[in-house]
Structure 1
Amino acid sequence: MKISALVAAQALSVANKSTIDTTSGRLVGIESNGVRAFTGIRYAQAPVNELRWEPPVPFASNQTFNVSTPGPACLQQFAAFSANITIPVFNNPPPPSGEDEDCLFLNVWAPTGGRQEKPVVIFIHGGAFAFGSATLNEYNGESIAGNQDIIMVSLNYRLNIFGFPSAPDLALQKSNLGFLDQELAIHWVQQNIQYFGGDKRKVTLMGQSAGSVSVSTAYARHTEWNPPFRAAIMMSAEDTSTLPTPDFDAFNSFANSSGCMQAPGASRLDCLKKVPAATIHNYTNGPLSGSFNPVVDNFTLYDDLLNRIRTKNTARVPVLIGSTQDDGTIFVYGAKNLTAALPVVFGSNAPSAETIHSLYPGLNDSQALAAGYRDNSFRCPSELWSAALVSSGIEHVYRYSYGAVFADNQPLPGLGAWHTSELPELFGTFNASTATWAEKVLSHTFQSSFANFIKHPKKSPAQNWPEYGQNGTVANLAYNGNVDLDNVVQTVSHSTLDSACDAFWDKLRDFRP
């Protein structure tokens, strides 16, 4: 009896495996619930030792690899001053395979059966270019792939000092290594997605937060001629105007702390490449580290993306774009004194407390601060992008604001429809044991509306959802408890949402360098 059970289990194990030949080798994944999952596919050579701080090198092989478990996340940076919130909220539970400098892996979920040459969505995760991973449980693609008959791809890219070092030792066009990683992964999809049943002509880029910024930069650097995607989804953050002068202070301080005292250049970089990754990781997560961000290189990132749109120097494909009603709450959580918080939150461009209250009458200090953060960082960039796209003649622009709030998705009291709160609903990874009926219905509705855009980007994603157009019509999603596909949209004029943007924030986001 025990032998028979063992034989049956072995047969089931074999039956549940799925094998595909790709440029990365023969990949052995697993099949479950009608979806083939290939997790931990290496798309670039390990960016370690001599390849640290170098553009990614494509990985090619004819060997067989078991890709049934995710690869490790790229090394994470959680700023010491905010780690008490960012770690429990955005890294709980942490990536299942841990962190490593060798991290350039991607994942593919491909439904069995259904249509051939399926539409494809490439998801780019967020995390302020400092943390995050495609391997987080929240981003498991099985539900959306299986329910919607689309192929889901997600990818890791180098982060913080490893991906965006802002180092004077590097050639400018080799500085935004994380963006170069993303481009290589997109190229991998173009080369290989047909083997999974996908159509490389039907690729949509989708990102959230820093991932959405990444999508916006990809949209801007690819021109109208043959971009490697036919549509884009940007969720809660887009790049607008960026100062062209890089700031090297954080990298120089790191180099000095590492004992590499040479002048910036090849010799210092060679010294720094010998520093153990664990030592660098400890430094960047310590109190002395600065932050590391993309720099304008006019190659992966341009200084004025909005102007590139207006002058028709970008990809010209349909866009789904938006933010959440309470995108700002988590970033200013616990701030009580508005006057003291404003320069910390907004830096040298901080408005006065009087200005904030004039923009948000009727809100208390904490609420007004959160609304200002939401508008400056998320809502106003969506408005500026939507308007620029439409004014340049791009059709099929759909803008939304997400307003659903569920009690089991409030890691801190009073966050509302907070930044990233829509992702469990989109991926279908919400807690099924605590979710209400309304949350389960909304997950299907939200997932279906985004999948509709991925499948047919020139059609309305949901009933009563019009294009943004010259009138600036926005779809409020799941406001007032509406969760069904036929009533989830309530249309509103952009002026209702964007009054503070028009009055103040837009001039900070849309400037000519």
Structure 2
Amino acid sequence: MYSKRFAQPPVGSLRWEPPAPFTSDSLFDATTLPPACVQQFAFTNQTLDQTLFNDPPPPEDEDCLFLNVWAPAPLTGPLKPVVIWIFGGGFSFGTGSLPIYDGMSFAKNQDIVVVTSNYRTNVFGFPQSPDIPAQHNNLGFLDQELVFTWVQQNIAQFGGDKDQVTLMGQSAGSDAVALAILRHKSLADAPFRAGIMLSDVPLTTSTALNFSSFNAFALAVGCAQPLGSAARLQCLRAVPAAAIRSYTNGPTGGSSGFVVDNVTVFGNALQRIRDHQLAPVPILLGSMQEDGTFFSYGLTDLQAFLDSNRVAASLILSAPVVRLLYPGLSDPEIIAAVVRDIGFRCFGRTHMCGAGFPTSSGTRAVFPDTQVFPGAGAWHSSEVRILFGTYNTSTATAAEAILSASLQTAFANFVKNPAASPAQDWAAYDPGLLGIPVEPTLAAIAYNGNVDPDNFVQAEQQSNFVSHPGLFGAEEQLTRSTVWKDGPCAVWDLALD
């Protein structure tokens, strides 16, 4: 493993500035994992978030723009395919240095180069601030782009092939991969040749800017100068990072996220897909069977959920109607299923598959030692440890270890040759036209406890988001129908069971 600084420290006058490339002739200890960027854990969910996604807690520092490279020895010989991992965390927390993202197993077992990196999150990376130029409000994505550039310029020194780079991300990291594909308009422009997206593809974005959270933050840390002024920005840059973290992790910490800047994020994503204004790269697109349980944990009132959820903003849905769409499930199970279908399946599949380029999707693995909260099932991000081979070897079953090897091999096969089937019985997915039955070409992984390399993929006919049209308004149904006519889509469903 090699840890490298890829940007100048984004501190002091460089806070809320685009990342500046780092170059130096000085010696640097590249054998120690770097600190995480300053993190934010939502006050109402801190205990669960930190237990699942921040254990053990890594050191944090505003000086955090480092990347890590895992490369099989020797570094000489034919150049190897490269995968760049982008972590999740809702653009609020996360780091490429977490033990669960250790790339040693993946790199060593599959003879590929694995790169993980940090990018600025929460108010440091996605401030939604009127005090800086609009095109600088998605600093986390600019950090990621600089990582891509670093890989193009330097990965050969670690035995990697800059022409065989695949982006891979989960949750917010999956969002980042999708948005990178959308902002690079051609193969010549893209610093990657394929993308893997696990659990999330957000292609619906608002063009409205909301500065309320940032303005409240500025007042809370003692910067009451006029908004948008150089004086307020100067004041905010002088506030210690620890004080900012204390506020953002408190009960009134606010939220932040990416905005439409027409540089890293575009507001007309669906039209860009229809017009093929994106990098035409092969895609693996997947979700977990119980992707919604983490986000719906503790929710039991279905009608209250529908009333408060954005789905109900455009649809007047009653609990009895939705229950008909999910027969046999309890209300808490229905809430989790709705979160999964709306948040992690329907929009991503229909939109990205509409690009007309080779695509793929996936869902499910439930082992005793992965059940970290009641009713977890194959929960959001539970596949990451299995994929990276960083699961708990002291508690894992033999089946878990076998599935890890099977999954690693399939993903590595895609990284090595994204134009070919990743595994036995993994066919290209074609949803056909809306309402017309298709052959069972959805690759469901380990749905029936099958984990061996020659049988862990089970061909199934996609059903979830087509069988629940009542969850979508007329406009979205029209969108799905129109997009699907654009061309075939290969989708794998990661069914870790």
Alignment TM-score, normalising by the size of structure 2: 0.90
Candidates 388, 392, 406, aligned match of 1:427: 388
**Cα contact 2:187–2:193 (8 A) shared by 1:** no
Letter in 2 for 1:195: Q
What is residue 488 of structure 2 aligned with on the other side?
none
Q: What is the SS of the residue equivalent to 1:107?
A: strand
Tell me, yes or no, if structure 1 residue 442 matches structure 2 residue 387.
no
Tell me, yes or no, if structure 1 residue 42 matches structure 2 residue 8.
no
Tell me, yes or no, if structure 1 residue 213 matches structure 2 residue 175.
yes
**Cα contact 2:2–2:30 (8 A) shared by 1:** yes
**Higher share of residues assigned strand:** 1
1-side partners of 2:320 and 2:134: how far apart? 41
Candidates 166, 176, 192, aligned match of 2:154: 192
What 5-or-longer segments of structure 2 have no aligned partner? 433-437, 483-497
Quote how far apart the aligned CAs of 1:504 are: 2.1
Q: How many residues align?
A: 467
* Alignment map for 1:456-495 (pairs within 5 Å): 456-471=417-432, 473-494=441-462
What is residue 464 of structure 2 aligned with on the other side?
497
Tell me, yes or no, if structure 1 residue 321 matches structure 2 residue 321.
no
Quote how far apart the aligned CAs of 1:165 are: 0.4
**Cα contact 1:322–1:382 (8 A) shared by 2:** no
Larger displacement relative to structure 2 (43-52 or 239-248): 239-248
2-side partners of 1:184 and 1:486: how far apart? 39
* Alignment map for 1:323-342 (pairs within 5 Å): 323-342=287-306
What is residue 377 of structure 1 aligned with on the other side?
343
Quote how far apart the aligned CAs of 1:335 are: 1.4
Candidates 49, 58, 81, aligned match of 2:44: 81
2-side partners of 1:505 and 1:146: how far apart? 45
**Cα contact 2:174–2:196 (8 A) shared by 1:** yes
Letter in 2 for 1:140: D
* Alignment map for 1:119-134 (pairs within 5 Å): 119-134=81-96
**Cα contact 1:380–1:501 (8 A) shared by 2:** no
Q: What is the SS of the residue equivalent to 1:204?
A: strand
Letter in 2 for 1:484: D
Q: For residues 240-273 of structure 1, what are the alpha-carbon distances to aligned partners after superposition, in whole Å with 9 as ceiling and x for unaligned? A: 1211111111001111112212222222111111
What is residue 360 of structure 1 aligned with on the other side?
326
2-side partners of 1:157 and 1:43: how far apart? 11
Letter in 1 for 2:17: E
Candidates 80, 100, 103, aligned match of 2:61: 100
What is residue 215 of structure 2 aligned with on the other side?
252
Letter in 2 for 1:303: G
What 5-or-longer segments of structure 1 have no aligned partner? 1-36
Quote how far apart the aligned CAs of 1:115 are: 5.9
Letter in 2 for 1:256: L
1-side partners of 2:152 and 2:469: how far apart? 40
1-side partners of 2:431 and 2:51: how far apart? 42
Candidates 103, 106, 127, aligned match of 1:141: 103
Quote how far apart the aligned CAs of 1:411 are: 1.0
**Cα contact 2:128–2:257 (8 A) shared by 1:** yes
1-side partners of 2:114 and 2:183: how far apart? 23
1-side partners of 2:215 and 2:271: how far apart? 32
* Alignment map for 1:265-280 (pairs within 5 Å): 265=228, 266-280=230-244
Q: What is the SS of the residue equivalent to 2:334?
A: helix
Gap change, CA 1:352 and 1:69, over 3 Å in 2:
farther
What is residue 203 of structure 2 aligned with on the other side?
240
Quote how far apart the aligned CAs of 1:65 are: 0.8
Q: What is the SS of the residue equivalent to 1:66?
A: coil
What is residue 306 of structure 1 aligned with on the other side?
270
What is residue 13 of structure 1 aligned with on the other side?
none
2-side partners of 1:456 and 1:99: how far apart? 37
Alignment TM-score, normalising by the size of structure 1: 0.88
Quote how far apart the aligned CAs of 1:353 are: 2.2
2-side partners of 1:146 and 1:180: how far apart? 30
Quote how far apart the aligned CAs of 1:358 are: 2.9
What is residue 176 of structure 1 aligned with on the other side?
138
1-side partners of 2:468 and 2:355: how far apart? 17
* Alignment map for 1:61-72 (pairs within 5 Å): 61-72=24-35
Quote how far apart the aligned CAs of 1:336 are: 1.9
Q: What is the SS of the residue equivalent to 2:116?
A: strand
Quote how far apart the aligned CAs of 1:342 are: 3.4
Gap change, CA 1:348 and 1:75, over 3 Å in 2:
farther
Q: What is the SS of the residue equivalent to 1:127?
A: coil
1-side partners of 2:128 and 2:10: how far apart? 17
Letter in 2 for 1:436: T
Letter in 2 for 1:91: N
